[in-house]
Amino acid sequence: MAGIGFELRRMLGKDSYLSEMSAYLYAAMVSSGPWLMSVLCLSILGLYSYSGFSRVDQDIFRTTIVYVYAFTLVYVGYIQLVVTRYLADKFYLGEERITLTAFFSSSVLVLVLGAILGIGGIWTFELTLTYKIIAVVLFLIVAMIWLAMIFLSAVKDFRSIVQAFAVGTSISVGAAFLLYPVMGLNGYLLGYTIGQAVIYFWLLARLLAEFPPRKVWDWGMLSYFIRYWDLALIGMLFNLAIWIDKILFWFAPDSRMVVPYLRTHDLYEGPIFFAYLTIVPTLAIFLIKIETKFYEHYHDYFAKIISKKDLFSILQEKKGMTLMLRESLREILIVQGSLTLLCLFMASEFIEIVGLSPIQKPMLQIALIGSFMQVLLSIAVIILFYFDLRKEVLLVTLVFLLSNTGLTLLSMKLGFTFYGYGYCYSCFMSLMCAYYFVSKSVTNLEYITFAGQPIS
């Protein structure tokens, strides 16, 4: 996570409007990360519902894509943070050469486990065998994309990520469009999968070009799963927490079964997905501010300690860091706050544009507020990660997961008018919890830095 700062500052250093914009774009791409892409793709393809495709096919396809993204994200979650940590440590030690080996090892892990999970998961669904096979392949490809992105962002190659996604997504849309008339639904999914495969192989090519291949198996990385079991757990549970309300809604009484057992909840999903789009700017700002300036302070703080400075200078540096954090937070609140407010007021117009039903307006509004808090939650979690407070993050994650589960079930029970409130309040509770930890750890930063040190 920390490494990205340098590249961003370098880009910002060019001091031109264009380069700054591109930095923001990259930042948005990388930070909003995986699930933003899924929302974007679906939005584009969502517009097809008026392009003459069969309604059922359209539903099957859309639900498949949502399932693939949701479950790959949760699935890859367990590997994401552990690998990020492993790479950061290796880079810190100057062992960049290890990268490809680690990539191969984790690929094997993701593919083998993913194939079992993918096949097992889709087996009972009433779909054609060809469709199932393509769907499993898509599942694996998307999972591999997330994995490749971890490695590429670790080596700070954001340009490749953006290029790959731009090209790949276009191909996905185009190929799906071209193959549907020929092969029907299978062709539609195949076309989409081809585009995603292009993304993956593009990223893979970049990785291969960057690093010479080495041995396939990396025991060092695997040992990290034992050492940082909490990271694996956090990665998986946090993604699950983000998705759990949607998953639960698929099983709500008023959800719809597209084909056994592909379920969807038309009312709930749309507003939630669209609300997510509003947090892109905040994530971009956050990445620029935190990953550049905050990282600088963070770095200087530890540099002061290591270079044997007195406590006063260390606390002075901490004060700068705190101040910077507070300022960034204010900025984020202003930007995201006004954007969210704007969207709240213009919810009716927005709903019309994207083709949602007017009865979904309150849901969109509550989802907007929820997203707003979720983005703040993500920021708090990243700050906690900076201080390596894994125990605290795990706690926040559990709060998020459990409250989102509990409150979503409750909102489902309470009825239609309460939809979205579960998610929103869950985000609020987890945010408060995370904020408490951030504030406590910033106050006691020097204590946490030192006293936690193991003896000898």
What residues make contact with another protein under the rule CB under 8 A?
305-306, 308-312, 314, 444, 446-447, 450-452, 455-456
333 in Cβ contact with 383 (< 8 Å): no
Sort 120 into a burial class: Cβ within 10 Å, 0-12 / 13-18 / 19+. Answer: exposed
How near is the Cβ of 265 to another protein at its closest, in Å?
A: 42
CB closer to another protein, 16 vs 313? 313
331 in Cβ contact with 293 (< 8 Å): no
d(CA 175, CA 447): 57
Q: Residue 6's Cα: distance from chain center in Å?
A: 21
CB closer to another protein, 124 vs 453? 453
Q: In the chain, what is the straight-line distance between the N-terminal and C-terminal CA atoms, in Å?
A: 29
CB closer to another protein, 215 vs 308? 308
CB closer to another protein, 124 vs 456? 456
CB closer to another protein, 129 vs 451? 451
d(CA 214, CA 100): 7
CB closer to another protein, 261 vs 450? 450
d(CA 13, CA 9): 6
Helix 311-345 to helix 361-386 angle (10° resolution) is 170
CB closer to another protein, 227 vs 309? 309
CB closer to another protein, 314 vs 377? 314
**CA separation, residue 215 to residues 59, 162, 219, 280 (Å):** 44, 29, 11, 39
d(CA 117, CA 119): 6
d(CA 424, CA 400): 11
How near is the Cβ of 318 to another protein at its closest, in Å?
A: 12
How near is the Cβ of 451 to another protein at its closest, in Å?
A: 5
* DSSP structural state of residue 262: E
Q: Residue 173's Cα: distance from chain center in Å?
A: 22
Residue type at 247?
I
Q: Residue 382's Cα: distance from chain center in Å?
A: 12
How near is the Cβ of 446 to another protein at its closest, in Å?
A: 8
Backbone angles phi, psi at 204, to 5 degrees: -60, -40
Torsion on CA atoms 149, 152, 154, 159, rounded to nearest 10? -110
How near is the Cβ of 448 to another protein at its closest, in Å?
A: 9
CB closer to another protein, 247 vs 305? 305
Backbone angles phi, psi at 261, to 5 degrees: -115, 35
How near is the Cβ of 23 to another protein at its closest, in Å?
A: 35
CB closer to another protein, 217 vs 436? 436
How near is the Cβ of 305 to another protein at its closest, in Å?
A: 5
Cβ within 8 Å of residue 121, ≥6 positions away: 71
d(CA 35, CA 30): 11
How near is the Cβ of 297 to another protein at its closest, in Å?
A: 18
d(CA 248, CA 265): 10
How near is the Cβ of 325 to another protein at its closest, in Å?
A: 22
The number of residues in the chain equals: 456
How near is the Cβ of 455 to another protein at its closest, in Å?
A: 6
